[in-house]
């Protein structure tokens, strides 16, 4: 005995059914966002996701889009190329929903600071030239994971590294057990807060 869809009148011997309804008329309880917005830096390519600037990772964007979807579905996938979410229902049926992406081009705070020549710390390496160069490469490699290097400068007395974030330098020095002569200089104020530039002088 074939079933008759109460909504459109199609029969189960002609089309697939889910419970009492045909596949097209089965009531679907799925809510999706009207769109998903995020910012992307035009210089470094990083994206601002959940309030933080991070590497532009498609997996993270897909996860965030799907995290804003609600309803009675078993699993879901999002295709950034077509901007379509495909939901698998408990009966195995597939339901598609269009969720447009809106990417706003901007410049992240870090790139803005780099372009403006901003830095909070100076690491002064002094001593044997070969050792300084090896040490500088190691410091740059480690610091670039946490902040940025505004510039490096060769001087007669040694090497200077100009670093975007002084806290990152303090943390790295502590991790490496490096002894440094630390001095601070007041360079201005921002929203009533004193701004200092910190110099770390390391003898090798």
Question: Do 147 and 193 sit in the same domain of this protein?
Answer: yes
179 domain residue, yes or no: yes
Q: Given 81, 107, 133, which residue is the final one in a domain?
A: 107
148 and 76 inside one domain: no
**Are 77 and 134 contained in the same domain?**
no
CA distances 65 to 62, 90, 108, Å, are 5, 21, 22
Residue 116 has pLDDT above 90, yes or no: no
In a domain, 79, yes or no: yes
Per the structure, the complete domain to which residue 185 belongs is given by 117-203
pLDDT tens by residue, 150-195: 999 999 999 999 999 999 999 999 998 989 999 999 877 767 777 8
Q: Is residue 99 part of a domain?
A: yes
Domain identity same for 143 and 72: no
Q: What is the pTM of this model?
A: 0.59
Q: How high is the mean pLDDT of the chain?
A: 89
Taking only the tens place, the pLDDT of each residue in 42-60 is 988 889 988 888 886 788 8
Query: Across residues 69-73, what is the average pLDDT?
Result: 90
> What CA–CA distance (Å, rounded) separates 169 from 139?
9
Tell me whether residue 12 is in a domain. Answer: no
pLDDT of res. 153:
94
For residues 128 and 136, the answer to whether their CB atoms sit within 8 Å is: no
Inter-CA distances, 97 with 10, 22, 100, Å:
24, 19, 10
- CB environment 69-80: b (16+ within 10 A), e (fewer): beeebeebebee
């Amino acid at each position: 005995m074939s079933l008759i869809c109460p909504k459109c009148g199609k029969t189960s011997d002609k089309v697939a059914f889910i419970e009492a309804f045909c596949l097209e008329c089965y009531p679907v309880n799925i809510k999706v966002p009207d769109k998903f917005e995020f910012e992307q830096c035009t210089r470094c390519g990083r994206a601002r996701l959940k309030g933080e600037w991070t590497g532009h990772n498609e997996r993270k964007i897909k996860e965030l889009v799907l995290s804003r979807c609600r309803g009675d579905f078993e699993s879901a996938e999002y295709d950034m190329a077509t901007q379509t979410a495909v939901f698998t229902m408990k009966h195995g049926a597939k339901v598609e929903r269009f969720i447009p992406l809106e990417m706003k081009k901007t410049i992240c705070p870090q790139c803005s600071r780099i372009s403006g020549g901003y830095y909070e710390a100076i690491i002064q390496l002094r001593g044997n030239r070969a050792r300084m160069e090896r040490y500088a490469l190691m410091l740059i490699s480690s610091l670039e994971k946490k902040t940025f290097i505004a510039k490096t400068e060769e001087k007669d007395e040694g090497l200077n590294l100009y670093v975007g974030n002084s806290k990152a330098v303090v943390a790295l020095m502590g991790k490496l057990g490096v002894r440094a002569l630390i001095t601070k200089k007041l360079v201005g104020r921002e929203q009533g807060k004193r701004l200092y530039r910190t110099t770390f002088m390391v003898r090798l």
